[in-house]
Every structure is written in C-alpha cells, then in structure tokens.
C-alpha cells in the first residue's frame, strides 16, 4: 500500500514529470485538486477512481477530511495518487498530508512538480532573477491576512523579485503594505493568469494600481523590476510546434 504525493506542474499536461505521468497511468485511485486539468486526469486508467477534493469558495473540503480520506484510501488500495497543482510542498499542504499518512503507517513517496512560482513567470518570458536587475527571488503566499499575514513591509526590497501565490483576492492590501514598507509605487507588476495553458493571459500594471487592476484566478503575481520584461503573447509553450503530451 502506497500513496504518492505528486506535483502536476503549472497546468499544461506536458509539464508533468515522466514519473508523475507513469504513476498516473497505473493508479488505482486519483485524488485531485481544483486546478488539475482534464488532460492530466486523462492519463489515469479508465478503471481508476477519480476523487475531486478541490477547495472552492463556499464549498471547500476541510484539510483534515482530506487527510482522513487519504489514510482510508491508502489502507484499501495498492496505489493512490494524490495530485496537486505545481509542487505539493510549495504552499500545497503536502507536508501535512505526508505526516498524516506516515502516522497511520502508510508508505508515502513525494514526486516533485514544477512550481507555478517559477513556471508562470517563465511562461510569460519574465526572468525572476536578472543580472543587474534582481539579485534574488522570494516566494510568498498572499492567501493569509490578519495575525497569520506575511510581513510584506519587511519584503520591500527593490533588489528582490516577489512572487506571490494565491494573492489575487488580497492584492490591494499587499500593494499598500509594500508601498508603506518603502517599495516604489511605480514598481512594475505582472499577473500571469492560467499560466502555460491556452487561456494564459498577462496583465501588467504598476504597484499603486494593483488593487484596481482586474485580475482573474488562478494567477501568479510578479512584483519587481523584472516584471517589465517578457511578452504579452500566449504561452511560449503553445507557440511551439511540438506535439502536446502524451
């Protein structure tokens, strides 16, 4: 009995790792999140049970219930694939699921995925680091506010690129705090919606306009001088003449 915690990458099926694709092809059960595409799920056998545990506004699955479900499935089936968008250990709560499974005596294997924190900017042609422009990159969650909030003011450094995941809903507050921390109001921002998919869209603005700029989920926010780089076309991946996986 084994449960595999698998990263699906940023969206497009051919950005899966080979190991992820092979595990899907032999799965007894696939437990998947909201952003997993139909093309990825199509790699599972027709006999596999597909279980949607995607978290949605007003109808979210509780994480404790997901943990319990994985334990139950892991006790009943030989091969359970738990697949998450991006990488399961980058704001994917994969660590919590691993801990619950191991506490129940179930074997767990982690299969890293391409995190959208880097794949989304790349799909837009934006380098998260760039000689003479950005000396480093910081990946943060924009989901939490209040007592659990990130100290955005402390991250206001024009030499560092900020990549914000799950930050669309709180973008106005994030921008305000960064400006209060000393980051220029004119700092470039790029939002990459539905990265690597045919629906990809790139929205550009400057920091003080971020709260009033229309951006749709799912999107990754890139804040910093590098956000002025790149292009506004559809994903580089979909301009390729290579056939799509599989």
Instruction: Catalytic residue, from 14, 28, 33, 68: name it.
Output: 33
End-to-end CA, the chain? 27
Q: How far apart are CA 152 and CA 145, in angstroms?
A: 11
Q: How far apart are CA 208 and CA 196, in angstroms?
A: 27
Instruction: Catalytic residue, from 52, 55, 209, 232: name it.
Output: 55
| DSSP code of residue 243 | P
Q: Residue 192: CB partners within 8 Å, gap ≥ 6?
A: 120, 121, 123, 124, 126, 200, 201, 202, 219, 220, 222
User: Can you read off the two tokens belonging to residue 137?
Assistant: 């990159």
Helix (H, G, I), strand (E, B) or coil at 57: coil
Half-sphere exposure of 8 (CA within 13 A, CB side): 28
User: Can you read off the two tokens belonging to residue 37?
Assistant: 């595409």
User: Any catalytic annotation for residue 55?
Assistant: yes
User: Any catalytic annotation for residue 84?
Assistant: no
Closest-CA residue to 190 (of 121, 114, 115) = 121
Residues annotated as catalytic are 33, 55
């Amino acid at each position: 009995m084994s449960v595999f915690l698998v990263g699906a990458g940023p969206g497009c099926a051919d950005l899966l790792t080979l190991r992820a694709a092979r595990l899907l092809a032999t799965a007894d059960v696939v437990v998947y999140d909201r952003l997993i595409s139909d093309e990825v799920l199509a790699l599972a056998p027709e006999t596999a049970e597909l279980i949607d545990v995607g978290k949605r506004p007003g109808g979210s699955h509780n994480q404790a219930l997901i943990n319990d479900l994985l334990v139950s499935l892991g006790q009943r089936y030989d091969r359970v694939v738990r697949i998450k968008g991006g990488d399961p250990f980058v704001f994917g709560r994969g660590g919590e699921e691993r801990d619950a499974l191991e506490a129940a005596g179930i074997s767990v294997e982690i299969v890293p995925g391409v995190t959208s924190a880097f794949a989304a900017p790349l799909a837009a042609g934006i380098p998260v680091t760039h000689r003479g422009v950005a000396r480093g990159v910081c990946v943060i969650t924009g989901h939490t506010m209040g007592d659990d909030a990130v100290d955005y003011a402390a991250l206001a450094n024009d030499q560092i690129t900020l990549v914000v995941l799950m930050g669309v809903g709180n973008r106005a507050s994030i921008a305000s705090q960064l400006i209060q921390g000393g980051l220029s109001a004119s700092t470039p921002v790029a939002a990459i919606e539905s990265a690597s998919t045919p629906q990809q869209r790139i929205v550009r603005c400057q920091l003080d306009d971020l709260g009033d700029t229309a951006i749709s989920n799912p999107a990754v926010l890139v804040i910093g001088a590098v956000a002025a780089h790149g292009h506004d076309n559809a994903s580089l991946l979909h301009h390729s003449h290579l056939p799509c996986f599989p």
